[in-house]
Amino acid sequence: MSTATYTVKGMTCGHCVSSVKEEVGEVPGVTAVDVDLASGNLTIQSDAPVDASRIEAAVAEAGYEVVTP
The mean per-residue pLDDT over the stretch 32-58 comes to 97
**Alpha-carbon gap, residue 55 to 42, rounded angstroms:** 10
Would 13 be classed as within a structural domain? yes
Report the CATH number that the domain containing residue 28 is assigned in CATH.
3.30.70.100
Q: Using CA atoms, how far apart are residues 22 and 24, in angstroms rounded to an integer?
A: 6
Using CA atoms, how far residue 46 sits from 6, 28, 42, 51, 61, in Å, is 14, 9, 13, 11, 20
What is the pLDDT averaged over residues 2-22? 97
Counting the structural domains of the chain, the total is: 1
pLDDT of res. 68: 77
Range of the domain at 35: 2-64
Q: Quick check: is 28 in a domain? A: yes
51 pLDDT above the threshold of 80: yes
Q: In the chain, which ranges are E strands?
A: 2-9, 30-36, 41-46, 65-67
pTM: 0.93
